[in-house]
Amino acid sequence: MSHDGPPGFATAVLLGDAFGMASVLFAEVLYRGFRTLITTV
């Protein structure tokens, strides 16, 4: 495992990627729930 840049950079990238995916999924769930709520009301 090669370390390019500051230490922990790869870890930060991996964590950021996972966080990005999680936030996208969370936004998708919120959006669908919000639309369902609006169409119900």
Say if residue 8's pLDDT is above 90.
Answer: no
pLDDT of residue 5: 60
What is the C-alpha to C-alpha distance for residues 14 and 21, in angstroms, rounded to an integer?
11
Residue 2: which pLDDT band, with cuts at 50, 70 and 90? Answer: low
- pTM score above 0.85: no
Report the 10 Å Cβ neighbour count for 10: 14
- Identify the band that residue 3 occupies on the pLDDT scale cut at 50, 70 and 90: low
